[in-house]
Amino acid sequence: MHIGVEEDFRAAKKAHPAFRVADLVALDALRDRLAAAGVPMREDSEAIPGVVRFFADDPFGNRTEFLAAGER
């Protein structure tokens, strides 16, 4: 994850860290908290069987993935 000032820096569009969350309740709570803070997010566009996930963008252009085992 890049946090800092670099003149020619471009955030990676595919490579990103992912954080596994304990369960779907915790994942939903995290999504709600990020939404309340105005963090840009998008839902998973490529489903992985048995996994619920979403992506969030930080102010530096980094994409972070949050996921939990489960089905919707």
Q: What is the value of pTM for the model shown?
A: 0.80
Q: What is the pLDDT of residue 72?
A: 80
Which amino acid does the sequence have at 67? L
* Tokens standing for residue 15: 């490579």
Range of the domain at 34: 18-69
Integer Cα distance of 33 and 48 in angstroms: 24
Whether pLDDT at 6 is above 90: no
Residue 19: CB atoms within 10 A of its CB come to 13
Integer Cα distance of 28 and 67 in angstroms: 10
* Tokens standing for residue 48: 């992985």
Q: Return the CATH number at 58.
A: 3.10.180.10
Q: What is the pLDDT of residue 16?
A: 86
Higher per-residue confidence, 51 vs 62: 51
6 found inside a domain: no
Whether pLDDT at 52 is above 60: yes
N-terminal to C-terminal alpha carbon distance within the chain: 30
2 found inside a domain: no
Number of folded domains in the chain?
1
5 found inside a domain: no
